[in-house]
Structures are given as structure tokens and as C-alpha cells.
Structure 1
Amino acid sequence: ANINRKNRDGNTPLHGAAFLGQADVVALLIKNKVEVNARNGQDETALGTVAPEWNAGVQRITQFFARILQLEIDIVAIKAARPRIAETLRQHGGKTSEQLK
């Protein structure tokens, strides 16, 4: 399977795992040589999806995507995992789109 495959919005599995706070999946993808700085259709990298401060808007978007994907999520765990995921991505060369310009 292609771990860098993009969906119709340009998101990779790394974008999804990072956004939904799945630190173990992020680590596994990195271990398997995922393209850390792949950009989606909105020009965001995976780091760009987790770097912003948590706020009500981010929470609503997270819950919205979870509903669409029919996922049961733990919003508290996702919020707590985001800084750790951002640091992991940075340690492996992850940058935001702004940093790549």
C-alpha cells in the first residue's frame, strides 16, 4: 500500500492521523518513511494541521470530520495528543507550509 496516497482533498494518511490525534499511527507512518511534508489541497502539511492552538473552531471541525467518517473520538485525548504529535513531526523534519516557502 502507498502510505503517501492522497484522497480527493489531497490529504494523506499522515494528515488524517495527525489531525485526529493518533500519535501511534503518526509514529508508525514516520517509521515507514512517510513523506512528512506532503501538502494537501489546501497547501497544508500534517504539521500545519496540528500546529494551531486548540480552540472551539478546531474542536468543531474535528467533531465534524469524526461524524462524517463515523468515528468515535475522545476529544480530550485528541487535544492532548496534538502538541506531542507536532513535536514528533518536527523531530522528523516536519514543517508547516509557511516554513517551506
Structure 2
Amino acid sequence: HERVGGRTPLLGAAWAGHADVAAALIESGADVHAREGDSEEASSSNGWTALMAAAAEGHADVVSLLLDAGAVADTAYGPERQTPLLAAAEEGHADVLEVLLASGADPNRTDATEGNTALYSASWLGYDDAVDVLLAAGAYTETTTRDGRTPLFAASAEGHVDVVRALLSAGAKVNHARVQGETALYIASHMGKLDVVEALLD
């Protein structure tokens, strides 16, 4: 199929969430593994496939379609080693996370820049439903980023009390400290997040 600016028609359909169009393209032989080209227009996306685009944009039906057609759930992209699961977590797409996890995506993979996991990103950004899905799939609560932050630390700093409670219920360690000695309770206190402080003290 013809590319435009390094992008295939399947990538375009997946990005926009047109499952019926994507299905027709796959039926006609579109390559679900094709990556975005190296053109200047496409360079910012690090060679994404249709699956990566659909996951990042929250199109769970397209994600399911692509996986059924042979796309690989845990493929990593670009120098950051971003995966569809990480991209979906960063946008809070819990339904996409469920589909990817059911197809074998590893909930504990990290990116290559910050060492973020899907659970870390969802916790930091306050996506309650995504956090619940990842915890149910066995995501580790104690994996740290390169600078020593856990999901609990990130959620506490941002004041996401429902995420904090979910992480605590899953066994997250309240007293884990970064190299600088900062704990979740310290950062919540420093940032003035009273409801989080109360949850951590409970």
C-alpha cells in the first residue's frame, strides 16, 4: 500500500480509530508490522506501527483488530524503547491496557530514558482506572525510576489520593526512600497534599 510522508494507509486508519477501514486494509494485505518511515514529517514518532498509534490514541477496537492480525503487543519503539502499553498508560486508556495485557504485554517493562513503567506513568498522572488494571495484572509497585521514584512517590507528590490508596492496598511500601531520603510522606507533606498525608498515615 502506498505511503504518504512515510505513513501507510493502515497507520492513518489506526491513528484516527477507523476500525472498519483498518479491517478492509488488512483484508487486502496491509502489513501490520510496517513502521512509519524516516521522512522529516514522521521522524517524531520513532517508527511507530499501526498498533502503537492505536494504543496511544485509545482505540481499543483497532488494537484488538491489529493483535488478531498478528501485531506484537510488546514491541518497543525508538531510542526511548516505548511500547504500546507504556503509551496507553501515559494517556490513561484503561480499556487498551486490558487488551494489550490479555495479549501478553509485560506490565513491568520500563522505557529507556527515565526508567518509567506503565504503572509509574498512570500513577503520576492520576489515572485511577489504568492503575487498577495494571495492579490486577501484577504490575510491581516498587520498581523505581532512574532517580529513585516509585509509583507511590509520584502519586503522593501530585496529590492523587485514590491512586495512593490503590497502591497501598496492593502493598506499596510507605517508607521507601529515594537516595536523597525523600519518602512518599515527605513529598506529600512538602507539597501540602493533606488528603494524601492522611492516607499514608492511616
Q: Is the structural similarity TM-score above 0.5?
A: yes
Task: Report the Cα distance in structure 2 between the residues aligned to 1:49 and 1:30, rounded to whole angstroms.
Answer: 16
Match of 1:95 in 2: 72
Could you list the structure 1 runs, at least 4 aligned residues long, displaced by more than 3 angstroms after superposition: none
Match of 1:5 in 2: 2
Percent same amino acid at aligned positions? Answer: 35
* Mapped pair 1:24 → 2:20: yes
Mapped contact 1:48–1:95 kept (Cα < 8 A): no
What SS does the corresponding residue of 1:15 show, helix, strand or coil?
helix
Match of 1:64 in 2: none
Task: Report the Cα distance in structure 2 between the residues aligned to 1:11 and 1:48, rounded to whole angstroms.
Answer: 13
Alignment of 1:1-101 (within 5 A): 4-8=1-5, 10-41=6-37, 42-52=46-56, 54=57, 82-95=59-72, 97-98=75-76
Task: Report the Cα distance in structure 2 between the residues aligned to 1:95 and 1:13, rounded to whole angstroms.
Answer: 19
Q: Quote the offset at 1:95 in angstroms.
A: 2.8
Q: Quote the offset at 1:17 in angstroms.
A: 0.4
What SS does the corresponding residue of 2:20 show, helix, strand or coil?
helix
1:20 partner letter: A
Mapped contact 1:14–1:29 kept (Cα < 8 A): yes
Name structure 1 gaps, 5 residues minimum.
55-78
Task: Report the Cα distance in structure 2 between the residues aligned to 1:48 and 1:87, rounded to whole angstroms.
Answer: 12
**CA offsets 1:54-78 (integer angstroms, 9 cap, x no match):** 5xxxxxxxxxxxxxxxxxxxxxxxx
TM-score, normalization: structure 1?
0.60
Match of 2:150 in 1: none
1:15 partner letter: L
1:87 partner letter: S
Larger RCO (CA within 8 A; separation ≥ 6): 1
Query: RMSD over aligned Cα, in angstroms?
Result: 2.1
Q: Quote the offset at 1:94 in angstroms.
A: 1.3
1:84 partner letter: D
Task: Report the Cα distance in structure 2 between the residues aligned to 1:27 and 1:19, rounded to whole angstroms.
Answer: 13
